[in-house]
Amino acid sequence: MIPPPLARFTAAATPASFSNNRRSSLSALWLGAVAIAACPSLQAAPVVTQGHGGPDAAFSLAPVPPPAINDAAAKATFSLVDGSRDGSSGELAVLADGKLPASEDSPAANFFFADNTDGGRIGVDLGSIISVKSIGSYSWHGGGRGPQVYTLFAADGKAEHFNAAPKRGTDPASCGWQRVAAVDTRPHDGKAGGQYAVEISNKDGAPLGEFRHLLFDVAKAAAADPFGNTFFSEIDVIDAKGPAVERLKPALPLVTNHVSADGKASYSIDSSKAPDLTEWSEKELLPVIVDWYPKLVALLPSEGFHAATVLKFEFRTDMGGVPAYTAGNKISLNAPWIAGQLKGEAKGCVIHEMVHVVQGYGRGPRGAKPAFAPGWVTEGLADYVRWYLYEPQSKGTVIRDPKQAKYDASYRVTANFFDWVVTTQDKDLLRKLNTAGREARYSEDLWKTWTGKTLAQLGEEWKKAIADGRR
């Protein structure tokens, strides 16, 4: 049994080493990094760098890089030198498959020693002696099985008395192994859950040594817990003379929350039911939301009304043929429909729905006898903003058959009618119409008040303008 070296090194090395690591480069929340001088017996003392993050960190645990895909461990032979694999654990092969668990409790995607045992030893045969630049280990669990506690040994296998598989009770240093580093990522505050990444390397970038064999002497992370063995997700061995290292691209979080630059609004997007749309949401949709929501609020003001400051977008797969709808500040988006419209109507559709959030019809101050705007007004206004203000370059509101045109046909047709009223009769129509809808005091008489013409007269004049080719 190897004496636990960490208490000693951590206490002695922390203050000085903290200034040496790259803490300032940390970007994700609640990451911690500690670099400790691990083995004073080696000439160039390797450092252990660690990263720790929450369940959404996507193994982007700076300063430790994400797991490698094409590292030397991918071709190595892993063996259980001592201890036993838990019945629910994955095979040792999961440690080198370049894949990460999908959740914080994915036993089969990790390797862990059997419950009610105190770890064991894992051997790695790289097949030939290579110049090892660094060694990485990654783990993830929501509780006490997240942190890593192990001592790493390495050997070239050339020693006469070399024992490739020393059981516990045999000090590897006595049979041809060098002790490289001791790792202990258990947090001091006891909150052990989350993702952990460890990198063992030399500070100056020089290789750790010429090795063929590695031996991980793994201790239980949660000593008092019968289920305290670490969920190891991946082990990487980087060959100093190997090909350029390819690393896993961190997955984007499926639920994001963006606070506007002025801090006045926040936008959350939930793509957990449509992970394929996560990247598009983040790169394409979010900028449109951030740019346009404040514009829409400014476009449709009314006294005493405050538009929602929290917007929630959710991609859903249970909406049938409905592309999108809005309830209060929540916008539901039909994932399959949006996916088919990424280069088409997807963004315009979201603009339309955000107009509904801003409209807030029936939410403004209202009188004793509320008179709600008819649906064609509500939808026509949302489509007017979308087609004429957000994407004026589109031909989305061309009326194909003037004889059939009806001002109250809703959506695009009504949008065309509103545009005609705005450009020929009353520039301020949009704001007035919206305020009437919001304050639930809509009446057809308002059109006469605003333009001097009845709604029917306006409708006829508009149709004539279409027929004359003026629209």
In the complex, the smallest distance separating the C-beta of residue 334 from Zn ion, rounded to whole angstroms, is: 13
Size of the site for Zn ion (CB under 5 A): 2
Instruction: For the chain, give the number of residues.
Output: 471
**CA 373 – CA 329 distance, rounded (Å):** 19
In the complex, the smallest distance separating the C-beta of residue 356 from Zn ion, rounded to whole angstroms, is: 6
Which of the ranges 99-107, 291-299, 377-385, 386-394 carries the binding residues for Zn ion, by CB under 5 A?
377-385
- Per DSSP bridges, beta strands 255-259 and 310-316 are unpaired
Which of the ranges 76-84, 220-228, 229-237, 382-390 carries the binding residues for Zn ion, by CB under 5 A?
382-390
Which of the ranges 78-86, 214-222, 363-371, 378-386 carries the binding residues for Zn ion, by CB under 5 A?
378-386
Under 8 Å between Cβ of 331 and 314: yes
Which of the ranges 49-57, 188-196, 376-384, 401-409 carries the binding residues for Zn ion, by CB under 5 A?
376-384
Our CB check for Zn ion shows the closer of 297 and 382 to be: 382
The DSSP secondary structure of 150-188, one letter per residue, reads EEEEEE-S-STT--SSPPTTS-GGGGT-EEEEEEE---T
Our CB check for Zn ion shows the closer of 148 and 359 to be: 359
The angle, 0 to 180 degrees and rounded to 10, between the axes of the packed helices 429-438 and 375-384 is 140
In the complex, the smallest distance separating the C-beta of residue 375 from Zn ion, rounded to whole angstroms, is: 9
In the complex, the smallest distance separating the C-beta of residue 451 from Zn ion, rounded to whole angstroms, is: 25
In the complex, the smallest distance separating the C-beta of residue 137 from Zn ion, rounded to whole angstroms, is: 52
Give residues with Cβ within 8 angstroms of 139, minimum separation 6: 110, 145, 146, 147, 148, 195, 196, 230, 231, 232, 233
Which of the ranges 44-52, 158-166, 381-389, 461-469 carries the binding residues for Zn ion, by CB under 5 A?
381-389
**CA 230 – CA 216 distance, rounded (Å):** 13
Beta strand extents in 15-76 (DSSP E only): 36-37, 47-53
In the complex, the smallest distance separating the C-beta of residue 406 from Zn ion, rounded to whole angstroms, is: 18
- Span 182-241, contacts to Zn ion by CB under 5 A: none
**CA 241 – CA 136 distance, rounded (Å):** 17
Our CB check for Zn ion shows the closer of 382 and 433 to be: 382
Our CB check for Zn ion shows the closer of 221 and 382 to be: 382
Our CB check for Zn ion shows the closer of 406 and 448 to be: 406
Which has the closest alpha carbon to 281: 267, 264, 261? Answer: 267
Longest Cα–Cα distance of the chain, Å, equals 105
Which of the ranges 129-137, 266-274, 372-380, 402-410 carries the binding residues for Zn ion, by CB under 5 A?
372-380
Our CB check for Zn ion shows the closer of 226 and 375 to be: 375
In the complex, the smallest distance separating the C-beta of residue 339 from Zn ion, rounded to whole angstroms, is: 20
In the complex, the smallest distance separating the C-beta of residue 325 from Zn ion, rounded to whole angstroms, is: 7
Our CB check for Zn ion shows the closer of 223 and 327 to be: 327
The one-character DSSP state at 98 is: S
Our CB check for Zn ion shows the closer of 213 and 352 to be: 352
Helix (H) or strand (E) holding 335: helix 335-339
- Span 408-447, contacts to Zn ion by CB under 5 A: none
Three-class DSSP category at 29: coil
**For binding to Zn ion (CB under 5 A), which residues are involved?**
379, 382
